Amino acid sequence: MSARREAVARARAGGKVILLGEHAVVYGSRALALGLGLGAEVQVGFAERTALTLGTERYVMTGSEEEALVAAPARAFCALLEAFGAPPIAAEATLEIPPGAGLGASAALGVALGRAIVQLLAAVGQTPRCALGPAALAWENVFHGNASGVDTAASELGGCLSFRRGEAPRLLELAKPVRLVIGQVEAGASTRRMVEQVAARRAAHPAEVAAVLEEIDVLVEQAELALGAGEHERLGALMSRNHELLRALGVSTPQLDRACQSALREGALGVKLTGSGGGGCAVALIAADAGNEVVDAWRRDGITCWEQRTE
């Protein structure tokens, strides 16, 4: 019992940015995703009652859990523990990226918590009932319904990966480093709602939406080749075309469109919304030797920016 009381584990995980393929990935196409350096940091320990502290919010699971489990983070944490077959655990978590902005904040939390719980169980000789990936996906499904798994895969693996639902993610070798600027243009929309919106459009206009999804699939294949060859101007053009197709699906917004146009005016090689859309973030591909024109322009427009460079 003493070992259990004293055991503590800490872990972190990064968020993600989707370079190409959002929404199409839901229907079996590939997506290209890049793990971010920023994400979530957690600490966990055994407890009499399961509890999750997320920033200023605290969720404690009592004998009567109905009220506590109304909150999605509480339900997600219970799903994560159940997947692992873990006893009651108390966790504290902090986010370094904004939630609901398309940067995989919930996946970063789920993967970081999962990593820490695996460490905690190992400290007392307990083997988790499943691997980290499925447990993190159980967490993610609470927030997004039937999640594709691309967010949790990117958070768990890091790097740049090619992802198709139902297949093992494939890490890509990049011919040269990639430089991105990510901007939070506006508040994000619910991923579940945006996925349902595209599904409704697909049901109403099957041929039109099928053509858009098929072209996105082709863009992803071409972008993977461009990354492997270091053809960043080509990659940028593919990203910008992907944004136009996402507009055709109805998931962009006037603010996202204006941010994309501003980045292109300032010399970005390509730019698009990233994530489910309806708000959230845009991602711009920048030449390695470019200045800070895109960042400066976006910040003048009140957009919070992060820069991400691969090695």
The DSSP annotation for 240-271 comes to HHHHHHHHHTT---HHHHHHHHHHHHTT-SEE
pLDDT in tens, 46-91: 999 999 999 888 988 765 555 445 688 888 999 999 999 999 999 9
| Choice among 151, 217, 296, 301 that is catalytic | 151
Rounded to the nearest 10°, the torsion over CA 152, 153, 154, 159 is 150
CATH superfamily of 173-309: GHMP kinase, C-terminal domain (3.30.70.890)
Within the chain, all domains assigned CATH 3.30.70.890 are found at: 173-309
Q: What is the pLDDT of residue 149?
A: 85
Q: Please name every residue paired with 160 in a beta bridge, in sequence order, or none if there are none.
A: 34
Q: At what angle do helices 72-84 and 132-144 cross, to 10 degrees?
A: 160
CATH, domain range 2-170: 3.30.230.10
Q: What is the pLDDT of residue 311?
A: 72
Q: What is the pLDDT of residue 273?
A: 97
Quick check: is 151 catalytic?
A: yes
Residue ranges of the chain with per-residue pLDDT less than 70: 1-3, 5, 62-70
Helix segments in 60-149, DSSP class H:
72-84, 105-123, 132-144
Q: What is the pLDDT of residue 258?
A: 97
pLDDT in tens, 105-137: 999 999 999 999 999 999 999 999 999 999 999
Q: What is the pLDDT of residue 292?
A: 94
